[in-house]
A and B are shown apart, each in its own frame.
Chain A
């Protein structure tokens, strides 16, 4: 399969569902080298899908800034999508057999290497473009199905049970239980340690810094300051974009603001004491708290 076909399948089965919603079918792992090459000077051949993706991305971008045109998918975004594919593929139990269990760990390490290799966004426009593409990635879920019948039971991770299992439901007393599994819990049931998976996921989140800052109140993976996020909050315009993204994502609920500020301050404490990076991180957390207090006061008045 050549690079063009891999790119088309990545766009149709991974990028499009991430932007437009719907079933996301994982592709064969890309690895760092292929992921960084797959999007170089790449345009989608399916123009209709390309238009739909562009419209949805523009809609998402307009939640943070008034723009009429958004740049197309860049090489970095293709690589980030490939990294996301590899990260989620780590949780695929079909990836390995009993003799090749170490594939999960290998793929996780390769995904981490890939995340480190993807450059930071060169401009706020690129940061907005990444946010427009990957802002919904943390809301990806998987549906696990448990089926019990009168003589036994079976579980299906992210797959539809075969029809034979569910045949004659009345006679066989078939009971079907569906459970939605969030992205952060997907590693359960694989040889990968959950903490390592969360760390890799955190690194992947930092590749789209506006999305990372907008979801700072998340339970897991814990928010951590990175070069990507610090470069955003270093400018006032970037701060404003991040505050708008946070406002749109959480509607400034008090609990979300408190969690985000706490997480940001805790992450700032990990930075070198007295450094400019720490000052930037603490300053942004203060801005977020001040914005919340201002709107609370305005609403009360």
Chain B
């Protein structure tokens, strides 16, 4: 049914299959055929145990397919991208009892194995209208898609396994308390000086006969004191969960068959609390606002209500000098850097590694204070020097610092006198440097010195390899041209 692809083979019969740089027959997609759902879970467990599914989630599609004979199997389709990824898929599929195929549209052939290191090619394409035609060295089968499986739903439907070892694990925890227990638990934590964040999540009423929404209190703890473990775990109405990534948590004492940390399939603002013992998971579609439990500590009011009043005095002047204060805000809009004279050598070395796009988009100005580089798309590609944040089209402030008082950028620009054609850089020492905008030239123009070159000759290789056709030129064969022929004739007669 299949032919092995040979080394240096150039023609393949399967549509959509071509040879990659290593000479391996590959299509744009890969398919893993698994006989049942439990094998699919096994495959996903194997995959997620060693690597995250992040790379393949964008193109991953899990379908239940049905053959002409009516038996259902599971296919897992994803972009092939490279033979490295496909090799790993094939190894895991083999371990999970599945087969791996590659192709582009409809016809898929068996992916390479030890018997055919360069892959397989079909000997003859069978015409079909089925959306998937799989060609294996042992069988050829056509499949229709029956149903698509959502990976997130599958993960929620899988029941966690009992794992007692997780009970003693230390680390952050989520606690979900039923409505009547929330307040008591808050005060218990406050009294016990346990640092925790608390929030209240709501769900619609469970049935039409109920009018009030279901409320549960959620706690987020960095660490549960050991003395509380048993109480929290065994109190009915309180469930303790171990976080598995940012959006999922599994009840303590249980473990999910698939590594949820490797499967970021749930919405980022949600939280899935997966419970063991056959209980349904708790879905928090939108995580509620969380606040420290200390906010619920008991307060005392002062008995004196009359406070001495101050009198307003005339203000002389409130003008203060501009300063820079460190800020913990995330770095944004970092579009400039100053490379000091000592770092210019590093910039020269870095220039060889910069992409053409970065070279084209970056401008540079040389000043006695160093070279200022600006790139509107972000200066991160040139990781050298002191970074600046663009506060205003004409003002740059040292990254990690904010001007205080926190006046508007336009006001700050006016305070500098609105200099036309000048870019003002304020560094962390509060030194202000104005650089003329006309001083900035594209980095690619500034990089190269005048290059010397020498001419050389070239050899015409084509003429060497393509020999011309022989052409006969006729000329007189000379005196007695037939003397050798005649001599032979005489010789043969003599013989």
Contacts and interface: CB of A to CB of B under 8 A. Distances in A.
Interface of A: 17-34, 56, 59, 86, 88-89, 91-95, 103, 106-107, 110, 136-137, 139-143, 157-160, 186, 298, 301
A94 B474 contact: yes
A298 B492 CA distance: 57
Contacts of A106: 482, 485
Interface string B253-278: 00000000000000000000000000
A143 B469 CA distance: 12
B323 to A, nearest CB: 77
The 10 closest A-B pairs by CB, nearest first: A21-B468, A158-B474, A33-B488, A31-B485, A31-B488, A21-B467, A17-B470, A94-B476, A142-B472, A24-B470
Interface string B454-495: 000000000001011111111111100110111111011000
Interface residues of B, number: 27
Given A21-B467, A30-B484, A91-B474, 8 more contacts: A23-B473, A26-B477, A56-B467, A86-B485, A92-B477, A141-B472, A159-B474, A159-B475
A89 B473 CA distance: 10
B472 A95 contact: no
A24 B477 contact: no
B474 A142 contact: yes
B13 interface: yes
A18 B478 contact: no
Nearest to B11: A298
B474 A24 contact: no
Interface string B4-22: 0000000101000000000
Nearest to B466: A21
B481 A31 contact: no
Nearest to A100: B482
A32 B488 contact: yes
A30 B476 CA distance: 15
Contacts of A19: 467
A17 B484 CA distance: 23
A94 B470 contact: no
Given A31-B489, A32-B488, A33-B487, A25 B468 contact: no
15 contacts: A20-B468, A22-B468, A23-B470, A24-B471, A33-B491, A34-B484, A59-B465, A94-B475, A95-B477, A103-B482, A106-B482, A136-B469, A140-B472, A142-B471, A157-B474
Contacts of A140: 469-472
A263 B82 CA distance: 50
A186 B125 CA distance: 52
Most buried by B among A26, A31, A56: A31
